[in-house]
Structures are given as structure tokens and as C-alpha cells.
Structure 1
Amino acid sequence: MGDSSSASYIHMVHHLIEKCLIFRMSKEECMEALSKHANIKPVITSTVWNELEKENKEFFEEYAQSRSKDDRMS
């Protein structure tokens, strides 16, 4: 894979993770969904997710808190 195709692949994974976030999935659920439906290895999804967490720390902290509130309400 060349640099541009690697970058576009990572960008695609990033976009798919954002879709998972809209559906309020956990990291593990997202990894499973992308593996099953988009044939993306869980380690790739995990790596991109971790990078997104580093870049958007506050968002992911709030996301985790709101997901745990949802879990308590159900």
C-alpha cells in the first residue's frame, strides 16, 4: 500500500467509526461491526479509534459518560 492509499483507507475507517458513534456503539461493538460488515481487521479499527481518542479526549470522555448513563437507564 502506498502512502495515499493508506491515508484514504485510514480516512475510510475513521468515517466508519464516526457512523458507529452515531449508533452509540462501544469500541468493541464498533470493532465487531466493521470486521463483520466492512471486512476491516479489529486491530485497525482499534488503532484508529485510539488515535481519535487522543485527538478528541473531551469528546470521548463525554461519549463514555453518556453511554454509561444510557446503560443505567435501560
Structure 2
Amino acid sequence: MALGDDSPASYIHMVQHLIERCMTFGMSMEECMETLSKRADVQPVVTSTVWKELEKENKEFFDKYKQLRSEKGGVSSS
């Protein structure tokens, strides 16, 4: 990636990377949206959209992720 690369694809890739970082901390989509909004100035709708696309592409992974969060008591009641 070139320095100063402002392309939409570059931005989406950055958001994806940040989502993956949030997931290493066991965050839910809502927690990730809040964190990225506060710390990286990413609009929650962008985080949500990228997260949902990742879920579509990696259904088995996200099903397992949600199951592990649930087993560890990491699922917040909404």
C-alpha cells in the first residue's frame, strides 16, 4: 500500500484489520463499533457494514466466534 493511499478499498481494508484486532479482545460487533468510533474515528455504520460482509464470507468462523464468546460469558445482553 502506497503512502497516502486514500482509496475506498484501502479504507475498508484498514477497517477490516481493526475489526480483527477487536476480535482478538473478544469484542462483539457493538463493542467494536463503539471502540472504532471513539479510537479510530470510524463511523459505526462503516464498521457494521464491514463486519456483516466478513460474517457472510466467513460464516463458520463467526458462528464459532459467537459460540466461544457465549461460553466465556462475553455476550452482552441487548
Scaled by the length of structure 1, the TM-score of the pair is: 0.90
- 1:15 equivalent in structure 2: 17
| AA at the equivalent of 1:13 | V
- 1:52 equivalent in structure 2: 54
CA RMSD, aligned part only? 1.2
Q: Match of 1:25, SS?
A: coil
Point out where structure 1 has 5 or more consecutive residues left out of the alignment. none
1:33 equivalent in alignment to 2:38: no
Could you list the runs of 4 or more consecutive aligned residues of structure 1 that deviate by over 4 angstroms after TM superposition? none
Q: Match of 2:26, SS?
A: coil
- 2:3 equivalent in structure 1: none
CA displacement 1:42-66 (0-9 Å, x = unmatched): 0000000000000000000000000
Structure that is richer in helix per residue:
1
Alpha-carbon distance in 2 for matches of 1:23, 1:5: 28
1:11 shift after superposition: 0.2
What percent of counterpart residues are identical?
Answer: 67
Return the match for 2:68 from 63, 66, 69.
66
Scaled by the length of structure 2, the TM-score of the pair is: 0.86
